[in-house]
Every structure is written in C-alpha cells, then in structure tokens.
Amino acid sequence: MTILSVDKLAKNYGAIKALKEVSFSVPKGAVFGILGPNGSGKTTLLGIVMSILKASGGTYKLFNEEPTDEHRKKIGTLLETPNFYHYLSAVQNLKITAAIKGRGEEDIERVLQMVNLLQRKNSAFSTYSLGMKQRLAIAAALLGNPDVLVFDEPTNGLDPVGIAEIRTLIKELAQQGKTIIMASHLLDEVEKVCSHVAILKQGNLVASGHVDEIFVHDDIVEISASDMIGLQSAANNLPGLLKISPIDGKLQLFFPMGTANLEQINSHCFSNGIVLNHLQVKRKSLESKFFELTNS
C-alpha cells in the first residue's frame, strides 16, 4: 500500500515558486527521507500534505484515498517547530493533542517515558529547553501509537546524546513496521536512518528512490608518483577503471563500488616501471555527493 503519494504538487508564494510539480510516493513500511538544503521546499511540501498550506497545483493522496481530517488523526506529525500552549505543562498539552486526535489520555505517560520527559511532565512548556520542547513534540507525534509518523527535522535543537537517542528511536519505530516520513537537511541523518529518499532542490525534485540506488558511490583510489606522465599512461590500462581525474598533483581513479583493489593497482604500476609514493582509498564524502546532487 502507498501511504502518501504526491502528484505534480506545486506551491507559489507570489512570484516565488517554492515547490515545482513534485511527484513521488511513499510505500508502507518505508523510512522515507525528504532531503534538501534550507529553503528547498521540504516543509512546504509537508505543510500542504498536512492541510495547513494550500497547494497552488497538483494533488496528493493519503492511504490511497482522497485526504480527509480523519487521515491526519492517524498520523503523528512534528512539523517545523514544537507547537504547544506555553502556559500549560507537558501533560496538559498532550491531553489537548489526545482530545483532538480522539485518543485516550492513558498513553501520555508512555510517550513521555519514551522521550525522557517524565520527570518534568508537570512543568510549564515555557520553562523547557529547546531540546526538551523538541522531545515533547516527538512525544505528541507518538501519542496513540500511530502507524505513520511525519518528522520534520526531528533532531533540531538536540544535543549529541539527544540526537543519537532520537535516531535510535526512529530505527526502533521502523523495525516495528511503522512508516516514517522524515525531512532533513542532514544527509548523514538520512543515510543512517532512511530506506528511501527524495531529494529536493529549490522546489524541484532532483532524485527519488531507494537510498542504495540514489547514494550509489564509486570507489575512489588516489595515487601519485614522481613520474606523473608515466603514471597516467600506466593507470589508463588498469582493468575495471571507470575514469581518471587529476587533483592536487595526484590522480584519482574511479572504480565501480566494491571493486577497487589496492594490491592490484600497486603491482600493475610497478610492472609498468612506476613506483608509487602515494596510494590511498578515498571514499567520496557524503557531502560532496550531496552537493553533486543538489548543485552542479
């Protein structure tokens, strides 16, 4: 079953096109990352799906049906910022969430426990730190144990321990078979947590699909020798080589993922009369992959 499908969704703010005919679908059980730099349209997209923004064009479906208010009650959502009544405590705020979602109040203790807020459950929201506010928002999303969760930048404002806790929590939720839609500008976060990804750039969908397909990366081996011209002609004959590019007085050799063999490269060059003074596997950094996908 498809949990969410968006079809040519567009949103204009005056002359600015925040979202340009974006289409993709989220299968059941996926941890679906929506990745993109700030201002790429992630929150706008989720805002339309959550009915707080009006789309300028296109349609979307929830649970394979035309979207209704009842669908949103079945989805736990944290969108952009933790939104709570400042003068009320965590418990009082969650009672309101439960009332709106039509769920019982008996689940409140459990979700506060899950995000480690039980000790401060009776303090006013206004006294919380940024990280605590974020955790309360995650607790609100988890209320009633929904099968679908939408998290927009879930680790915003959290310290490193908090970030690790939330990532572990998301993985646990995914293992329970829940569908999670997560927007993030942190590639590392998406790669660690998500099974699927859609990449947005300035409102355009750049790529979408399984993480392994999108983030497929070549093996890169960096070599150098005192005779760089001889090295280049020797390297050209390497079996399985995809391409060579000179960088900073060294050569970068590209091989299909998992096929680079340092021993073979070294002996190949030596047998061609070249002695290497540098031989190193360079895994392409995720950031450069991200830039490649969202820029050039």
Q: Which residues contribute to the site for other proteins (CB under 8 A)?
A: 47, 50-54, 69-70, 72-73, 77, 79, 81, 83-88, 92, 95-97, 99-102, 140
Nearer to other proteins, 51 or 224 (CB): 51
Per the CB < 8 A criterion, the answer to whether 282 and 222 are in contact is yes
We find the least distance from the C-beta atom of residue 89 to other proteins, in angstroms, to be: 8
**Residue 203 or 238 having the CB closest to other proteins:** 203
Shortest distance in whole angstroms from residue 22 CB to other proteins: 18
Q: Which is nearer to other proteins, 86 or 278 (CB)?
A: 86
Name the nearest CA neighbour of 82 among 125, 18, 48: 125
Smallest gap from residue 124 Cβ to other proteins (A): 10
* Strands 243-247 and 276-283, bridge-based pairing: unpaired
Nearer to other proteins, 69 or 263 (CB): 69
Which value, to the nearest 10 degrees, does the dihedral of the CA atoms of residues 110, 111, 116, 122 take? -90
Residue 50 CB, nearest distance to other proteins (Å)?
A: 5
The amino acid that residue 251 corresponds to is: L
Query: If we measure between CA atoms, which residue out of 160, 150, 110, 116 comes closest to residue 135?
Result: 116
Element (H, E) at 173: helix 160-175
Rounded CA separation 84/140 (Å): 10
Nearer to other proteins, 141 or 166 (CB): 141
- Give least dist CB 53 to other proteins, A: 5
